[in-house]
Amino acid sequence: MPDTLPEYTIGIVGLMRRSVSYADDLQRLGQTVVGTDVHPENRRRFEDEYSAETYENPDAMMADVDGVFVMPPSKFQEGAIITALESGTDVLAAKPMCASINSAKTVRDAAKASSAFCMVEYHNRFYNSVRLLQSLLTEETSEQLSHIEARYTRQRGVPSRGSWFTSSELAGGGALMDVGSHVLDLLFLALGSSAVEQVWAISRSEFGDRQHYSEDQVPSNSIYRFETDALMYDVEDSMTVMLQFETGQTAVLEIAWAANQPEEQIFDLFLRGPEESVYIDIWQEASAENGTLVSPVETYSVSENAASHFDSQTHTVKGKNAHQEMQRTFLRGIRQGERPDGCSVDEAVHIHRIIDAIYESAKQGTPISV
Amino acid sequence: MTSSSESDSEYGRTIDTVETNFAILQEIKNTDGGTISAIADVLDLSQATVHHHLATLRKIGYVKKEGTSYYPSNRFLTLGGRARKREAVFQIGRDYIEQLSDETDETVRLVVNCNDYALTLYQDTGDAVEQPRTYVGDEADLHSSASGKACLAHLPPEKVASILDERPLTQYTENTITDREELLQEIDEIRQKGLAFDDRERFPNIWCVSVPMLTETGDFLGAVTVSAPTSRRDRDWFHDEIPGILKNASGVIEVSSAYAQWTE
């Protein structure tokens, strides 16, 4: 059944590489796109490529749009999100939402005071495999989980080395902020309301000045890359994190923008429990064509059959374009005039709080109580 | 007594007396105090003219007299302070300059282009520094300093040519670049590397490294410079240790300056 959406005008704040795919998606969904960026060159390219109107700053754009995607360098997210919320414009904010926990709390307060809503770009929620995971994890199943191994590691995937992405001041951090936030999002999704009690983290920065590091994952036509002569690199590019929850459950996270590993990318969670374990390979669905069949979820359990040593079950889903699904959900939110379920500012603030504790632990070199 | 004559310029009608007045001020600044006869000699003015100018400036509080010498007074800081307060790059940059001086222990400066001179807009010194050679308001020739060369590297070629045509490449030390071709070649390298060095070219025992910053339209915004005496820091420190630290800070100032227009 076709779900036709009205034609809205969506403004993109920050016309860099990662925003471009959203403009493509929005046009495919029959929406009108406009944009704003401080760099005249980025505005010109966006105008040419999308026959779209551009503005010099978010303020000037707000009166003409029905919703905005806010995705400038993280440090400038807070200001742009608040500008939108204060003008009553619905926001889809790039994850992890802000560059710091304080900034995130300011945004949360602004969202509470606004008639508009702010949704945060945790797009993985919209994969069919993740939705299946949610349905498999009944309260009972979730409670018996004892340990989670989660990985988000790339072979060569530092985003735009030297740009704002690799500046601690502008991005708020490195691999943990960028991809680690996705892992935390799914971890909290899986464990429901369990509170984190303690974190222990070790961070590494190893690929900043590797001259022969190949940047195959950065598209060579990355015209929306931030143009700068400055080569900043003062963030972590990999991290090992251990979390302990008040329930006694534990998790180990391996996060890396770059690693000498055979797989191009690993993004999976292995949730272990004495009754049942669940494995989910998010990357399998993320790297598949929209609509093809994938089997990214498996469950393992003690067999009730005496002759069987061990039970396992593979679950097949139709691969979904999660980015597009998230945008549809956002557009429906505009239509309904209410905040869509999930991807909320409160959840983003919670992730920011744990990220902050993880950085503190890495800095001090000791476990930290949250 | 001079008459108040006027001239035509690209700015419209201008008053010659004001130019004479500022030439006298520049002179007492450059020589760190000047007597009437010395100023009259250098500027080819009558002693009476110089005296009248200085008397006027004293009357309105911009010049002070000690013995027979005249000096600029602190009142100029009210103009300078106000001028600087308006600059976004100063507002944004000062915290990072202070962080860098903590991190390096040395003299760190934010330098901008002012009338095609490298002007120190802000300076902070680390614990190792007792008596820095430079100060806020310090003005250097573009060819003789790291930040000046960084600026030349990002001025339009025709602008660089006209500056080099009009101004001599004054030799300050035995390392100052006084050959035009050599200078042009070096600023090409600076543009490519995003890094400029001063190899004891302005002061005989000081070296510096500087990173240029650009505006969102690619114009020169300013430069961040670390300098230290040769007795305390070696060449490797400037070439291997400092550039990375400097680029992390200058990049943030550059990007934040571009986005400042969103928050104004």
Average of pLDDT values for A7-28?
92
Phi, psi for residue A198 in degrees, rounded to 5: -145, 145
List of chain A residues whose C-beta atoms are within 8 Å of the C-beta of residue B251: 162, 164, 167, 170, 228, 230-232
Interface of A with B (CB under 8 A): 38-40, 56-59, 72-73, 75-76, 79-80, 162, 164, 167-170, 208-209, 226, 228-234
Q: What does the pLDDT read at residue B25?
A: 96
Report which secondary-structure segment, H or E, holds B100: helix B88-104
CA distance B73 to B169: 30
Please answer yes or no on whether A226 and B213 come within 8 Å at the CB atom.
no
In tens, the pLDDT along A183-211 reads 999 999 999 878 999 999 999 999 887 76
Q: What does the pLDDT read at residue B137?
A: 94
For chain A, what percent of residues have pLDDT higher than 70?
A: 94
Closest CA–CA distance from residue A188 to any residue of chain B (Å)? 33
Mutate to test the interface with A, among B97, B192, B246, B248 (most CBs of A within 10 A): B248
Q: What does the pLDDT read at residue A304?
A: 80
CA distance B226 to B240: 13
* Residues B170/B179, Cβ–Cβ less than 8 Å: no
Please answer yes or no on whether A38 and B252 come within 8 Å at the CB atom.
no
DSSP string, B149-163: HHHHTTS-HHHHHHH
List of chain B residues whose C-beta atoms are within 8 Å of the C-beta of residue A229: 194, 212, 214
Report which secondary-structure segment, H or E, holds A40: helix A40-50
The mean of the pLDDT values for chain B is 94
Mutate to test the interface with A, among B241, B252, B256 (most CBs of A within 10 A): B252
B118 three-state secondary structure: strand
Closest CA–CA distance from residue B185 to any residue of chain A (Å)? 19
List of chain A residues whose C-beta atoms are within 8 Å of the C-beta of residue B252: 167, 169-170, 232
Q: What does the pLDDT read at residue A208?
A: 80
List of chain A residues whose C-beta atoms are within 8 Å of the C-beta of residue B194: 229-231
List of chain A residues whose C-beta atoms are within 8 Å of the C-beta of residue B88: none
Reading the block at residue B37, the tokens are: 């006869």
A219 Cβ neighbours under 8 A, 6+ residues apart: A17
Q: What does the pLDDT read at residue B2?
A: 44
Q: What is the pTM of this model?
A: 0.91
Q: For residue A93, give the nearest of A298, A316, A355, A347 by alpha carbon.
A: A347
CA distance A16 to A34: 13
The mean of the pLDDT values for chain A is 92
* Residues A107/A99, Cβ–Cβ less than 8 Å: no
In tens, the pLDDT along A51-97 reads 999 999 999 999 999 999 999 999 999 999 999 999 999 999 999 99
* Residues A65/A9, Cβ–Cβ less than 8 Å: yes
Please give the residue of chain B at the shortest CA–CA distance from A231.
B247
B87 three-state secondary structure: coil
List of chain A residues whose C-beta atoms are within 8 Å of the C-beta of residue B246: none
